[in-house]
Structures are given as C-alpha cells and as structure tokens.
Structure 1
Amino acid sequence: MKENTEMMSMELLDPRNDFLFKRIFGSEENRDVLLAFLNRTFDEAGKPTLSEIILLNPYTDKDSPRDKQSILDIKARTTEGEIINVEMQLFNKYDTEKRTLFYWSKQYGSQLVEGQSYSSLKRCITINILNFSFLPNDRYHNVFHLREDQTGIPLIDDIEIHMLELPKLEEREVSLEEGGLANWLLFLKGANPDKWEVLTMNEPKLKKAMTTLEFLSQDREARMQYEARQKYLHDEASLMEAAKNAEIYGFKTGLESGIRQGIEQGIEQGIEKGKQQGIEQGIEQGRQQGIEEEKKQTARKLLALGLELSTIAGVSGLSMDEIRRLQNE
C-alpha cells in the first residue's frame, strides 16, 4: 500500500513518448521486457512465440531527443533472422499506411548485399503502436498480410504489419487478471498505478517496465530529455496539422482561382472554337494550374520549416524529384 501511495505522489512520465518508450523497451538491460511484449503480441495473433531476440539499435546516449531527424524506433532480429521493427506514434502524421509500407520496404530491401540472391530475404514484421484511432473498426489489434482476395491464400508471408490502437482499448472490456497484450497496452496508455499490481499479476516482466518508468520519472536528466522530446513532438504535430490545413485551404483557393482564370481563357478561346468547348477546356486547364501551384507553395513553406522530404511529399502530393527541384531553387 505504501508503494502505491508513493507512486501516486510521484508524477510519472508518459511511456508513450517515443524517447521514453525506447529507453524502457529498447535497452539491452530490458531486452527481456521487449521479448515478453513481443511474445504477447504474437500470441494474441496466433503466432509462435520467440525464445530470444537481438537488438539491432539498442538505446544509447546518441539517441538524442533533440535530433529532429531521428526516428526512435526499436529494431530486433530473431534467431531465425527475421527482423522486427516497433515504433510508437504519439501523434497522427497522416498517410500512416503509406509511411508504414515505405519504412517496411526499406527494412526489407536493406537485408540484401551485393551478390546475394532474393531467397536470402527474411520476413520483416512491423509493429505500430498508435496513440490515435486509425482503422474503421473497433479492434485494438489488427494484423495485415499479403493475401489473395477471394481464396485468402498467401502470396508470401514476408510482410506482417501489426496496428495497435491505444484509444480503442478500455479497461472495462479487459479481464486484467488474465494478463496478455491488453495489460501491456493499458500500462502504455497510462493506467492508474492503483491497478498496476493487478496488471502484473500474470505479467511479471511488465513489473520491470513499470519499475524502469518509476526510475526514469525520478531521474532529473531523463526528465529533461523527456520534456525536450515532448516539446519537439508537439511542435511537429502542430506543423503537420498546419500543413494539412494549408493544403486543404490551398486546394480550395487554387481551385477557385483556376476556375476563374479558366473561364476567362475559355471565353476568349470560345469566340473562335465555340464558347462551351472553350470554357470547359479553360476551366480544366486553370484548375490543374491552380492545384499544381498551390502544391508547390505548400511544399516551399514546409521546406522552409525544415521538415523531411518524405513528409513534405506526403503532405503536398508532389514527387520527391519535384520537391528536390524546389529545394535547389
């Protein structure tokens, strides 16, 4: 009881912060914690459990929370050579499905070295823990593979993507005494410390994750790094939201401007080729020009903010080559 009282009086940090998440689950000393979490994830999906994992990018002091280009994910390899990537996403960066496939493909392709055959490629598993609702169903754990539409036969099992959506998880819908993946996710979601004892009843490794969170919450340097990362994440989320709104507003204003220009041009051309045909052609041409110009304006603004080129491409709708040309300008 005394232990719970102390936890309540202490302001715990949020384990959904990707910097803190990696310190809890992605450090060598907590490799057993990550293994337990992965096995609960695979067990719920009907997959065989793992006996051991190797961390490919364990947490070090180089994982700076102030590095704007860093992706504080966790990469591990199984004894069979399969690669697992775990990422905590606190805010919706939009185009989640495309972003997921992009990073999965980089992970899959990076296995090959010169002279190796395609047969040496191993299965890659992506686990996204989302602090926002994403899929149009009420399941908090969704698993995706490559399957044929009608018969469901697999093309290949090399791709496996897990989406864990924290907002869809409610304590009242989970039997805490049974243990399992839900207990881990409730901890990440910020379950009341009063319920920690129940959550760990059948999840002994979860207790170690909680102890690590308590220690980091009391460590001054860890709190400073955590707050720096929180600030960056919130700033990035605000920029993404502003960019998204700018894209929507820009599309609307660009369309209106394009239509006006198209009508004017179409009327002039219609004198010779027929008013109706000229107006239609002018509207379409003006609309396309207006949309393209607004896309470029959006991309220029995001370049000025220093966002990644892939993020700008996702928001603006321009290709990477087009964005590089704008960057060179």
Structure 2
Amino acid sequence: MNVNLLNDFLFGKLFGERGCEKETLHLINPFTNKNFKSLSFELNEIKGNYKNNKKSVTDVLVMMNNDTLVNIEAQIGKQAKFHKRNHFYNSKIYSILLNVGEDYEELPMTIMINILGFNLHNLENYHTTFVLSEKINKEYTLEDIIETHYIDLARFRIKVRKNKIDLNDPKDRLTLLLDEKTPQSLIDQVIKMDEFANNIYKKNTSCFKR
C-alpha cells in the first residue's frame, strides 16, 4: 500500500510521538551520518509573538543523547524561500532554549532535516548539507552551531528512474520508503531487507485499519 508518509498527521504519528523513539532514531541517523544512541521528544509547537502573528510548528523536535537538538520537517508543496522559513524556525527554537542572562555556551548544536517535495536549488545530489563555513577557507566551519539537511524528493525520483538507487545504502532505502511515488516493487524490496522499514510499513498499515 503506497501512502504519503509525509502527510502531517501520519508523519507525526510515525515519528513524532513518545513510543516512536526507535523509529525516529532510525530516521535521523542515516540522513545525518551520525550514530545517535537515544532521544527524547521536545515541545513541537513553539509559541511567541512574531511578525504577522506567525507561529512556528515543527513536525518533529527531539533532543539526542548528546544534547544535540534535531528538528525534522516535511514540506511537499512548493514554498518560495523555504530556506528562510527554515532558519526562522531555528531562531525560535533557540529563543525558547536560552533565557535572558543565561550563558550562550548552553545553546545546543542544532540539526535541521528538511524533506522536500520540490527542488530547492540546482545541485545534483538529492541530499545536501549546509553548515556555517568561512567564505574563502571553506574547510573551516563552525561545527557546533547548526547543520541543515535538505532531502529533495523530486531529484531523488530522477535517480529512481535512472535505476541508480543503491539498496545497500540505508539513506536510499529510507528515502524510497518516505516517497509516496516509489514503485511498490521497490517498497517490497526495501521492507524485506530493512527491519526498520518493515516496522514502519506495518505501523503505517495499522494506522489505516483503525
């Protein structure tokens, strides 16, 4: 059954609630290329008085075992200047984490994972990572502040059509599972070889049977 796992309600049920820690951990590690061991769920709605009465709502907001904060958002419909909205959310996260007078050293490293149904830029890879780096000496980065990941499903589908998917790559398997346009034959292969994908698939099916 091919359903849109990135639907706000379904994505929240699969990855954004207590009891989903294992699934969410396996969503984060492949995209960040890290090996987090555990996580805890944080407040998903960040309230405040913003310009034009804006309110920040993140799909998933978790604190990892090393105090890194991870924010995951799925945005299927095209939105202009999405990267600016992304940084707006991040600034609001920081604003609630640090009270006036507190030491800035207390601010955690923040990782933003954005799963998009449209092209954000013209780079070839479907997964791109941005960090703060020095303009000339690009190898010098401020690694303990923010890391932003963009998963471009539109570009990933080109890779699927060209038969360039690597099923041994957990990131490719995960993206196949998340994309509602993935052929069922590929989904079947993924859930046979990936325990995490199989669990998510079963959980998703049970949601629709209720």
Give the structure-1-normalised TM-score: 0.55
Cα pair distance change 1:167/1:26, threshold 3 Å: same
- Relative contact order, higher structure (CA 8 A, sep 6+): 2
Q: Over alpha carbons, which structure has the higher Rg? A: 1
Cα deviation, 1:124-173, whole Å, max 9, x if unaligned, reads 11111001111111211000000011112114531110010111113211
Are 1:116 and 2:102 counterparts? yes
Cα pair distance change 1:189/1:135, threshold 3 Å: same
Cα deviation, 1:171-205, whole Å, max 9, x if unaligned, reads 211122x1411111111112233333321344211
Structure 1 runs not aligned, ≥5 long: 1-6, 59-68, 220-329
| More helix per residue | 1
Aligned residue-pair number = 196
Contact kept, 8 Å, 1:147 with 1:154, in 2: the verdict is yes
Contact kept, 8 Å, 1:124 with 1:159, in 2: the verdict is yes
Q: What percent of counterpart residues are identical? A: 24
Are 1:168 and 2:155 counterparts? yes
| More strand per residue | 2
The residue type equivalent to 2:152 in the other structure is E
Match in the other structure for 2:141: 154
Match in the other structure for 1:30: 20
After superposition, residues 1-329 of structure 1 pair within 5 angstroms as: 7=1, 12-43=2-33, 48-57=34-43, 71=57, 73-152=59-138, 153-169=140-156, 170-171=159-160, 172-176=163-167, 178-190=168-180, 191-219=182-210
Instruction: Tell me how far apart the structure 2 counterparts of residues 54 and 189 of structure 1 sit (CA, whole Å).
Output: 26
Structure 2 runs not aligned, ≥5 long: 45-54
Instruction: Tell me how far apart the structure 2 counterparts of residues 96 and 206 of structure 1 sit (CA, whole Å).
Output: 28
Contact kept, 8 Å, 1:84 with 1:127, in 2: the verdict is yes
The residue type equivalent to 2:35 in the other structure is T
Give the structure-2-normalised TM-score: 0.85
Cα deviation, 1:268-315, whole Å, max 9, x if unaligned, reads xxxxxxxxxxxxxxxxxxxxxxxxxxxxxxxxxxxxxxxxxxxxxxxx
Instruction: Tell me how far apart the structure 2 counterparts of residues 74 and 97 of structure 1 sit (CA, whole Å).
Output: 17
